[in-house]
Amino acid sequence: MGEVKVPSDKYWGAQTERSRQNFRIGVGIETMPHEIIIAFAYLKKACAEANHKLQPQKMTDEKLKVIADVCDEIIAGKLDDNFPLVVWQTGSGTQSNMNVNEVIANRGNEIASKKLLHPNDDVNMSQSSNDTFPSAMYIAATMAVREKLIPAVGSLAATFRRLESEYDGLIKTGRTHLQDAAPVKFSQEVSGWRSGLESDSEMLMHALTFTQRLAIGGTAVGTGLNAPDGFDAEVCESLSQLTGIPFTPAANKFHALTSLGEIVFAHGAVKALAADMMKTANDVRWLASGPRCGLGELFIPENEPGSSIMPGKVNPTQCEQVTMTAVQVMSNDNAVSMAASQGNFQLNVYLPVCAYNFLQSVRLLSESIESFRVNCAEGIKPNAEKMTENLNRSLMLVTALNPYIGYENAARVAKLAHEKNISLKESCLELGLMDSERFEEVFHPERMV
């Protein structure tokens, strides 16, 4: 293909440079996710360790040490400016695999003060881009969910648990179909938000049991060509030791190279969390609506002015960022699903866009949840006076009378109270369905929760 000029102050080589020149799409904005590069560093180190164990005559002690040292530098962020490639490149991610290979080889040779490593023969030994990129994608996805998303979910769940404990005795009106409904405790309402998060976390952990199964060892088309027997198991054992995550070889490499059902399933769990966060954020901003003409049942932190023209206006901005993030995650789910459906024969060539969208979802949702917790949820306080006022005005408290006067009569009580704007007790007395003493005996909203 002829000569190509490579920047002398960088560690990448000709293949990286050709990709950099040929794919000027989203440069500086939509680069290969940092999580993928870190995952590649773990993977390359594990592959070198496996090769050293299985074919030490090729992967010598010296080569292993240098490769491992450079991988550690990448993981530590010391070589971040050597991975310039964009997402919109070859669909197999070959050029990013080679970017990593070239950086490890060239930096390694600098450390060794000689030409010790070749990017293909040594760093890519027993591998193909076709099994390393999907493996790196699954490693990155697993680590991101475990290290970022699940802790963020756990912290917000703990905040909600505190709110439940602090306000357990507070009763308020429930709402279904955006209409008044039977009463609930405020703590019960919050428990629904918390339980959703805990369920989502459980689903995420279950999904990771699938993304921990790696394609490595399949090489080019799933047959394992040029990889020694047992290579996949050795790599996964090394990876497990390096990351603390129990990675295992995919049972069928022909499936692992071309099908991405595991990442679709995992993103489905991410989307479920986004859906629950959308619901919770909307609940909070509705309950905090006002301050005088809305529901007004919650006080939330006033973080910044809400209008450039209306003085004193404050908006539920943290709730808004959560709902926008949820929309993005739900949109990303479509991209992940479509990318996964495009495997042809022995390879899927939509890997970079799949990885990009999955990792963006996890990154955005993790940071969105933490921002919501710190800047909103931690400062939530119920407006007990307003909750009690709304509770006492709710016509659906009439449900407590069903066992004593029947559904039809209770409906008459509610309808008359609404038409005349009188209390349920006054309505019940006017209709002659109960006397005052009997009403007071059976009508106890606090017992309805």
Residues 18 and 35 in one domain: yes
Residues 26 and 72 in one domain: yes
**pLDDT for 12:** 98
- Read off the CATH number of the domain in which 440 is found: 1.10.40.30
What confidence tens digit (pLDDT) does each residue in 64-104 have?
Answer: 999 999 999 999 999 999 999 999 999 999 999 999 999 99
Residues 147 and 111 in one domain: no
**pLDDT for 1:** 86
Is residue 349 predicted with pLDDT exceeding 90?
yes
Range of the domain at 275: 143-215+259-385
Selecting among 165, 195, 199, 307, the annotated active-site residue is: 307
- Read off the CATH number of the domain in which 174 is found: 1.20.200.10
Closest CA to 188 of 373, 397, 449, 394: 449
Q: At which of 385, 403, 424 does a domain end?
A: 385
Residues 167 and 48 in one domain: no
Residues 372 and 281 in one domain: yes
Q: What is the mean pLDDT of the chain?
A: 97
Query: Is residue 118 among the annotated active site residues?
Result: no
What confidence tens digit (pLDDT) does each residue in 305-330 have?
Answer: 999 999 999 999 999 999 999 999 99
Count the domains in the chain. 3
Residues 117 and 181 in one domain: no
Residues 78 and 37 in one domain: yes
pLDDT category of residue 31 using cuts at 50, 70 and 90: very high
What confidence tens digit (pLDDT) does each residue in 45-56 have?
Answer: 999 999 999 999
**pLDDT for 217:** 98
- Is 235 within a domain? no
Percent of the chain with pLDDT strictly greater than 70: 100
Residues 156 and 90 in one domain: no
- Is 416 within a domain? yes
Which range is least confidently modeled, 64-68, 87-91, 377-381, 444-448? Answer: 444-448
Selecting among 8, 113, 177, 308, the annotated active-site residue is: 177
Q: At which of 61, 91, 125 does a domain end?
A: 125
**pLDDT for 294:** 96
- In terms of phi and psi (left: phi > 0; alpha: psi -120 to 50; beta: otherwise), the region of 345 is left
Residues 45 and 102 in one domain: yes
Query: Is residue 8 among the annotated active site residues?
Result: no
Percent of the chain with pLDDT strictly greater than 90: 99
- Is 297 within a domain? yes
- Is 406 within a domain? yes
- Is 251 within a domain? no
Residues 290 and 311 in one domain: yes
Residues 398 and 432 in one domain: yes
* pLDDT average, residue stretch 158-162: 98
Residues 423 and 347 in one domain: no
Please name the amino acid found at residue 35.
E
Q: At which of 125, 152, 174 does a domain end?
A: 125
Is residue 239 predicted with pLDDT exceeding 90?
yes
- Is 376 within a domain? yes
- Read off the CATH number of the domain in which 68 is found: 1.10.275.10
Predicted TM-score (pTM) of the model is 0.96
- Is 247 within a domain? no
- Is 81 within a domain? yes
